[in-house]
């Protein structure tokens, strides 16, 4: 009888020991799992620069294309003189683009609207121009589906060697990065530009600086904001500056 009692007590001590060890093991596993939990993933500065690049280059219907279209109108009306035609009348147009070249596939629909301002001699001197785009593109660095809207004041139509553009450009959509961690995210970008000088002969930006604000919502609904400048270099390129770091891209 004592032997049975002793064996039963030993069994319960062994059973208790096993339970304690299992609990400690589970606690250790949970601690290890907690140690492995990473904070919300961050979009890198390089990926942010790629979003801004897509919003400024002409081939992805970015700011460069905005300015090319604006200059097309400016060239048309710069040659017109007072015959009572376009002054003060609203106009609009719709275009579609489909591109499939090395390093770029894109499809976009573009809408223009504009009103020409004239002086007292009925000569066009400025254009108020609005543009909206909707579409998608894929480059070596980014897949994007986005919409953009802009308003521009184009002045200096008949004076000087340069057109002068002032305006704001916004672009929002969803992106899939093809660099670094290849995250998917959504973005909203606002670019504001003052006194962009564009050569009337070459139709290229000669000088100007635009400020931008980019808001990105990435993996885990983590939201980040980037602010910086876009410096137009006068040679067909622009330099995107974020946190003092520079990324030079071609505009055309």
What radius of gyration do the chain's Cα atoms show?
A: 30
In this structure, which long-range contacts are made by residues 13-22, counting pairs with CB atoms below 8 Å and at least 24 apart in sequence? none
Q: Percentage of residues in the chain with pLDDT exceeding 70?
A: 81
| Structure confidence by residue, pLDDT tens digits, 213-225 | 999 998 788 899 9
Q: How is 93-106 classified by DSSP, letter by letter? A: EEEEEEEEETTEEE
Q: Percentage of residues in the chain with pLDDT exceeding 90?
A: 51
Q: Report the candidate in 81, 147, 77, 141 with the shortest Cα–Cα distance to residue 115.
A: 77
Outline where the chain has alpha helix (H). 2-36, 45-56, 63-78
Which two tokens mark 209? 């600086």
Instruction: Give dist(CA 167, CA 215) in Å, integer.
Output: 20
Q: How is 107-176 classified by DSSP, letter by letter? A: EEEEEEEEEEEE-TTS-EEEEEEEEEEEEEEE-SSEEEEEEEEEEEEEE-SSSSSEEEEEEEEEEEEEEE
| Structure confidence by residue, pLDDT tens digits, 49-64 | 989 998 999 888 888 8
Contact by Cβ (8 Å): 103, 140? yes
Name the 3-class secondary structure at 227: strand
Any idea which of 68-82, 144-158, 163-177, 233-247 has the lowest mean pLDDT?
68-82
**For residue 98, is pLDDT > 60?**
yes
Q: What is the mean pLDDT of residues 242-247?
A: 96
Which pLDDT value is given to residue 81?
Answer: 52
Q: What is the mean pLDDT of residues 134-159?
A: 92
Instruction: Give dist(CA 171, CA 179) in Å, integer.
Output: 21
**For residue 244, is pLDDT > 90?**
yes
Instruction: Give dist(CA 170, CA 191) in Å, integer.
Output: 6
Which two tokens mark 147? 């919409």
pTM: 0.78
Q: What is the mean pLDDT of residues 182-199?
A: 93
Any idea which of 24-38, 101-115, 231-245 has the lowest mean pLDDT?
24-38
Instruction: Give dist(CA 188, CA 27) in Å, integer.
Output: 43
DSSP 235: S
């Amino acid at each position: 009888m004592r032997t049975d009692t002793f064996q039963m007590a030993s069994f319960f001590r062994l059973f208790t020991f096993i339970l304690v060890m299992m609990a400690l093991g589970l606690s250790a596993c949970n601690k290890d799992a907690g140690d492995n939990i990473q904070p919300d993933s961050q979009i890198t500065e390089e990926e942010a620069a790629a979003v801004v690049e897509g919003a400024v280059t002409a081939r992805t219907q970015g700011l460069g294309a905005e300015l090319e279209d604006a200059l097309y109108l400016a060239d048309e009306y710069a040659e017109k003189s007072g015959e009572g035609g376009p002054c003060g009348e609203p106009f609009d147009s719709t275009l579609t683009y489909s591109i499939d070249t090395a390093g770029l596939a894109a499809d976009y629909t573009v809408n223009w609207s504009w009103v020409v301002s004239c002086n007292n001699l009925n000569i066009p001197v400025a254009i108020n121009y609005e543009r909206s785009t909707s579409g998608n593109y894929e480059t070596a660095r980014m897949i994007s589906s986005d919409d953009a809207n802009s308003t521009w004041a184009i002045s200096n139509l008949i004076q000087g060697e340069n057109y002068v553009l002032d305006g704001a450009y916004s672009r929002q959509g969803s992106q899939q990065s093809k660099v670094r961690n290849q995250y998917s995210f959504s973005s909203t970008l606002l670019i504001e530009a003052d006194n962009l000088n564009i050569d009337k002969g070459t139709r290229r930006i000669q000088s100007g600086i635009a400020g931008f604000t980019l808001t990105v919502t990435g993996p885990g609904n983590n939201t980040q904001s980037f602010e910086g400048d876009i410096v137009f270099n006068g040679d067909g390129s622009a330099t995107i500056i974020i946190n003092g770091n520079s990324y030079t891209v071609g505009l055309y």
